[in-house]
Amino acid sequence: MSGPSRLTVFLTGGAGVLGDTLIGQLAERYHLVCLTRRSSIRHPGVETLRGDICQPRLGLSGADYLALTRRVDWVIHCAAITRLDGHAEAVFSVNYQGTEQVLEFVRDADVPLYHISTAFTHPCDYHPGVMPSTPYEVVKRQAESLVRDAGVPVSIFRPSIIIGDSHSGHMPMLQGFHLTMGLMMSGYLPIIPCPENGRVDVIARDVAAAGIASALDQRLIGDDYFLSNGPQALDIRTLLDLMCAEMQDQGKPFQRPRCMNPDIYERLVRPVFLPALEENIRAALGRATQLCRYASLLQPLPSSLEQLLPARRLAMRSPRQELALTLARLSPKLSAMQRMLRTPTSGERHGELAMEA
């Protein structure tokens, strides 16, 4: 193991939105070793290994695996399939069986683990009639139980819906909720299955990463942490107000979507409205309405930001401004999103858009 002044941290999922942001915040203070299967890690000075979390020894040779166990001090497990409509077998393979393989490595290396889950494994209080749990949510909950029962030093981090950078709105890749907001701004979702007072908890990607980085800096281990806005979460009415303001700034037409209780939408709108649409548009709207489950919170999520982040950093934050910046980054992409929807192959492309764990 490395000396105490510069820990060696083994990171899975470094090419994802949260993993990529974590690298940017940790690379100067820690030696990072990132496992990647196909995607490239764009950060210089970060060591990468080709492997696969679903394979024994993480897809590494016996010698490489053993050498890695001897020099790693900490593991952060970010890798996951985050598609809400992903194939159940693939979601289970990566999100559960992949976690099993990571846990085996943690035991062999005898090091602490940070397991990145999702805030929606928590028993959330939703408005009546929301869609049932998604396979992603179910498997993430199972993986949490697996981690808790593994007998290793572990902390679980539960981010809510991740959006763009808190200062610029930049997002390295679009997520599922970006697609949902884009469909609303483009007029493809004139009715949304969310009550206007439903809360939607979105967290800027750098804020979520800062929470994990702060915990690592303090060597915190053993507790669960919610990377969410909690009582500061906005409601759907505010989200729609921000969309109106952004589209007005862009000089683009905007028809404000109508909010509807989820149970009424499922009984009266979905059976009539969706079947009349083209297949690829119907699939995109189906994924978008799945995500509306997570925008229908009746009560706020817990939040650990006050525990993890300095008071000065918290005082400078504005969840409303952070969401406005994300919408400002999204609005120029609406035309491209509309073209994708009109392209026969767009169903597969949109399937790549997902909510980050």
Contact between residue 276 and residue 201 where contact means Cβ atoms under 8 Å apart: no
pLDDT for 86: 56
Mean of the per-residue pLDDT values of the chain: 89
Contact between residue 219 and residue 111 where contact means Cβ atoms under 8 Å apart: no
Mean pLDDT of 291-314: 94
Please tell me whether the overall predicted TM-score, pTM, comes out greater than 0.85 for this model.
yes
Contact between residue 95 and residue 140 where contact means Cβ atoms under 8 Å apart: yes
Give percent of the chain with pLDDT exceeding 70: 93
At residue 71's C-alpha, the angle toward residues 68 and 73, to 5°, is 110
- Reported as a single tens digit per residue, the pLDDT across 197-209 is 999 999 999 999 9
* pLDDT band for position 344 (cuts 50, 70, 90): low
The encoded tokens of residue 126 equal: 């939703």
Dihedral sign computed on CA atoms, order 83, 84, 87, 90: positive
- Reported as a single tens digit per residue, the pLDDT across 217-265 is 999 999 999 999 999 999 999 999 999 999 999 999 999 999 988 888 8
8-236+293-351 to CATH, choices 3.10.105.10, 3.40.309.10, 3.40.50.720, 3.40.50.1370: 3.40.50.720
Contact between residue 351 and residue 280 where contact means Cβ atoms under 8 Å apart: no
The backbone region for 166, taken as left when phi is positive above 0, alpha when psi lies in -120 to 50, beta otherwise, is alpha
- Reported as a single tens digit per residue, the pLDDT across 34-71 is 999 887 888 888 999 999 999 999 999 999 999 999 99
Residues 6 or more apart whose CB falls under 8 angstroms from that of 5 comprise none
Query: Is a pLDDT exceeding 60 seen at residue 2?
Result: no
C-alpha to C-alpha distance for 208 and 286, rounded to whole angstroms: 28
Hey, what amino acid is at 62? G
Hey, what amino acid is at 90? A
Alpha-carbon distances, residue 66 vs 70, 72, 102, 255 (angstroms): 7, 10, 14, 59
Cβ count near 336 (within 10 Å): 10
C-alpha to C-alpha distance for 76 and 71, rounded to whole angstroms: 15
Please state the domain extents for the chain. Answer: 8-236+293-351
